[in-house]
Amino acid sequence: MFSWANIRNAHYNPLGIVPASEYRFPFPNDSFDFVYLTSVFTHMLPPDLDNYLSEISRVLRPGGHVLMTMFLMNDESLLCIAERKSFLEFSRTTHGHYVGDPSDPEAAVGYEELVIRNRMSSVGLPITEPIAFGAWPGRRRFMSYQDILVAQKR
């Protein structure tokens, strides 16, 4: 099922009506077996991401899966960035996430891997291993451009 919503995003939809941090998915609890997001969390700040993770958990049936892409910061990706191998430049914010451009933070957002693991687990969506790490930081071995995560609702 597809549903369009006029969600505010300073980079892509600055005239949007609803803040992503307040958006409630228009579906009943436990109504989906599978949720798919590609390049959504790469443009969401922490309050937006937290709300979407909660909403995904709410609409997934127990045992349902979510597949999502992100920019995950870990020792390897941060080293690649420091060595200027990355396709993107990221800097850490005072709020603990990373942005590609501080003057346009929602253009590219990255999160520490451990933070994402904890946030997903806290809403009942533990990550199914392994994470398929992407090419974006300049890795030689990858499956896709962004990091791919799969989780299953407890």
Q: Which CATH number, 3.40.50.180, 3.30.70.60, 3.40.190.10, 3.40.50.150, labels domain 33-152? A: 3.40.50.150
Interatomic CA distance for residues 64 and 99, integer angstroms = 31
**What pLDDT is recorded for position 1?**
65
Interatomic CA distance for residues 143 and 131, integer angstroms = 10
Instruction: Express each pLDDT in 25-74 by its tens digit.
Output: 999 999 999 999 999 999 999 999 999 999 999 999 999 999 999 999 99
**What pLDDT is recorded for position 95?**
87
Instruction: Express each pLDDT in 81-101 by its tens digit.
Output: 999 999 999 999 988 899 999
User: Per-domain residue ranges for the chain?
Assistant: 33-152
CB 102 within 8 A of CB 93: yes
Measure the CA angle with vertex 136, ends 133 and 137; round to 5°.
Answer: 85
Selection from 117, 130, 128 nearest residue 153 by Cα: 128
Instruction: Express each pLDDT in 91-150 by its tens digit.
Output: 999 888 999 999 999 999 999 999 999 999 999 999 999 999 999 999 999 999 999 999
Average pLDDT over residues 4-29: 97
Mean of pLDDT over the chain: 96
